[in-house]
Amino acid sequence: MKIRENYSLKALNTFGLDAKARYFCTLHKLSGIRTLTAWQQEHPDLPLLFLGGGSNMLFVNDYPGLVVHMRLETLEVLGQDADYHYVRAGAGNNWHEFVRWTIDQGFAGLENLSLIPGTVGAAPMQNIGAYGVELKDHVYEVQALDWRTAELRDFSVDECCFAYRDSYFKSVEPDRWLIIAVVFRLPRHPQWKTDYAGVQEQLQDKVLDARMISDAIINIRQTKLPDPAQIGNAGSFFKNPMIPVVQWENLKVQFPTMPGWPQQHEVKLSAGWLIDQCGWKGKREGDAGTYAKHALVLVNHGNATGAEVWNFAQGVIASVQDKFGITLEPEPRVL
Ligand code: EPU
């Protein structure tokens, strides 16, 4: 496995930012991990970053350590029981191609997660979700490697501590575990989720199957969200904030049209709405801006630097704080 120096990450992050990795390599086989542990022993002070599709990263600076591009791309049908089909996907598989592969096999479950950018291995990090389905709903286990000791461990779905855009791997022990594969259990008797705004309208009264729902989701995403191949972005740039019920009731008096979705003990707000109300939709400062059709998506119109995008994000955070007293949290990892 070759370790290169001063490698441009422009083609490897969906914002299209021209950050450089001090060191860079591509991991095609698990055996390559030995090279990484040896490298780490030689460079104990330098950090190491595993990169999937680069769809959830904002490189504000060049990366001072080693960036490892994950390319483990195996796919296997493991078997079935009365309720589920089980499939195992290597971390380096492109997420959307994997979803369509499951549909080609005749398996359902992941259709609502169609066209999410990124890789299979990155998906558990932030428990990707869309249109009423989250990754955790269909995970059986996550196979991860403690890259410092080369110990392999299977995390059951409970051990992954999945929550809204969060997981054990993201929050409890970041940078320790390298996700190498995910085992999914896909229902043999699926219940379609089509109640999210806009999905039912696309499908009308047709007899449903996974491919049809996937196609409808692709349509919706293509009309609302920018394609990273055309315009750099990392999907939603902020998480939808959760606030206490009392705060929600007060805000509702002041802003009666504010959308909110009651959760167990809190209310989930729409970050897109809050940002839109502050007048940021379609705004641009140099090449950094928000997407004209969705205020929650920050975009790189061409040659923005990570620092410019981050500076723009600070402006958005400050105005939402001023107007609504709510602190937005970035969804992507800011490096
Ligand atoms: N809205 C506005 N103005 C905007 C954008 C949105 O007012 O410019 C309001 C509308 O009221 C709209 C509501 O926000 O009804 C919700 O918008 P949308 O349905 O697009 O969903 P979202 O909450 O903004 C979340 C996920 C998306 C996911 C969609 C669909 C987060 C942070 N984002 O967005 O995930 O695709 O729901 O399920 O939870 C991602 O994580 O990168 C991502 C794209």
236 lines ligand 1 (CB under 6 A): yes
Q: Provide the terminal-to-terminal Cα distance of the chain, rounded to the nearest Å.
A: 25
Q: How confident is the model at residue 201 (pLDDT cuts 50, 70, 90)?
A: confident
Q: Closest ligand 1 atom, CA of 277? A: 7
CATH number for region 232-334? 3.90.78.10
129 contacts 217 by C-beta, under 8 angstroms: no
Predicted local confidence at residue 200, as pLDDT: 84
C-alpha separations of 67 from 19, 52, 154 in Å: 11, 10, 24
Q: How far is the CA of 235 from the centre of ligand 1 (A)?
A: 10
Is 198's pLDDT higher than 90? no
Instruction: Print burial letters for 277-296: b (CB count within 10 Å at least 16), e (below 16).
Output: bbebbebeeebbbbbeebbb
Prediction pTM value:
0.94
Is 180's pLDDT higher than 90? yes
166 lines ligand 1 (CB under 6 A): no
More confident residue, 268 or 1: 268
Predicted local confidence at residue 214, as pLDDT: 97
295 lines ligand 1 (CB under 6 A): yes
Q: How far is the CA of 275 from the centre of ligand 1 (A)?
A: 11
Domain boundaries, the chain: 4-70, 75-224, 232-334
Strands ordered across the beta sheet of 260-262: 242-244, 266-269, 260-262
Q: How far is the CA of 210 from the centre of ligand 1 (A)?
A: 22
Q: Closest ligand 1 atom, CA of 130? A: 38
Q: Read out DSSP for 121-154? A: TTTTTTT-EETTEEGGGGEEEEEEEETTTTEEEE
Mutation pick for ligand 1 pocket among 131, 296, 316 (CB with most ligand atoms within 8 Å): 296
Convert the pLDDT of each residue in 57-112 to its tens digit: 999 999 999 999 999 999 999 999 999 999 999 999 999 999 999 999 999 999 99
Helix (H) or strand (E) holding 311: helix 306-324
Predicted local confidence at residue 107, as pLDDT: 98
The residues annotated as belonging to the active site are 165, 236, 331
Q: How confident is the model at residue 207 (pLDDT cuts 50, 70, 90)?
A: confident
Q: Closest ligand 1 atom, CA of 294? A: 8
Q: Closest ligand 1 atom, CA of 224? A: 20
Percent of the chain with pLDDT over 70: 100
In the Cβ-directed half-sphere of 28, how many Cα atoms lie within 13 Å? 2
Q: How far is the CA of 238 from the centre of ligand 1 (A)?
A: 10
CATH class of 4-70: alpha beta
Task: Give the phi and the psi of residue 21 in degrees, each rounded to 5.
Answer: -95, 130
More confident residue, 51 or 196: 51
Predicted local confidence at residue 148, as pLDDT: 73
Residue nearest ligand 1's atom 36 by CA = 130
Taking alpha carbons only, the member of 117, 153, 121 closest to residue 139 is 121
Is the CA virtual torsion 318, 129, 171, 41 positive or negative? negative
CATH class of 75-224: alpha beta
Distance in angstroms (rounded) separating the CA atoms of residues 16 and 116:
17
240 lines ligand 1 (CB under 6 A): yes
Detail the DSSP E strand segments found in 147-244: 151-156, 177-187, 232-236, 242-244
Q: How confident is the model at residue 245 (pLDDT cuts 50, 70, 90)?
A: very high
Q: How confident is the model at residue 262 (pLDDT cuts 50, 70, 90)?
A: very high
More confident residue, 207 or 302: 302
Count of other CB atoms within 10 angstroms of residue 145: 19
Taking alpha carbons only, the member of 22, 101, 110, 100 closest to residue 59 is 22
Taking alpha carbons only, the member of 11, 160, 3 closest to residue 67 is 3
Distance in angstroms (rounded) separating the CA atoms of residues 240 and 134:
15
Mutation pick for ligand 1 pocket among 270, 293, 299, 331 (CB with most ligand atoms within 8 Å): 270
Predicted local confidence at residue 268, as pLDDT: 97
DSSP 3-state assignment of 65?
strand
Is 125's pLDDT higher than 90? yes
Q: How far is the CA of 81 from the centre of ligand 1 (A)?
A: 36
pLDDT (mean) for 10-36: 94
Distance in angstroms (rounded) separating the CA atoms of residues 124 and 134:
10
Number of H helices, E strands in the chain: 7, 20
